[in-house]
Amino acid sequence: MTAIPACPVCSMENTYQDGDNYLCPDCTHEWPLVAVTDEALESDGVIRDANGNPLADGDAVILIKDLKVKGSSIVLKKGTKVKSIRLGEGSDGHEVDCRMDAGNFMLKACFLKKA
């Protein structure tokens, strides 16, 4: 029998396995049984959101944090839904092209989650 690891967030050992994930009932944190490294995700060439879900052209995404637009006073608010994204290889890792009411923006996928 393999030992179930302690929760990486709260360090409590009251964790259990549920399907393909470990769960912590104390802080409600959930993490996969098999640790997926960032290097493995980046090496496959697929652009992924903050949760590791693959993104495709035309997907709808939601911002997971407030983003200040460099060089202006515009702030893109957390929870804003963006429809019909386009993927590409932008400069500095900005790989998602979004069209919003405030204008067109290139965003990093790590600040987005699939809707």
- When the pLDDT of each residue in the chain is averaged and rounded to a whole number, the result is 84
Burial class (CB in 10 A: 0-12, 13-18, 19+), 35: exposed
**pLDDT computed for residue 17 by the predictor:** 87
Question: How high is the pLDDT of residue 96?
Answer: 92
Q: Which pLDDT tens digit goes with each residue over 17-42?
A: 888 888 989 888 888 877 555 555 55
Give the residue, 77 or 89, on which the prediction is more confident.
77
Whole-model pTM over 0.85: no
Domains (ranges, CATH) in the chain?
1-35 (2.20.25.10), 44-114 (2.30.30.40)
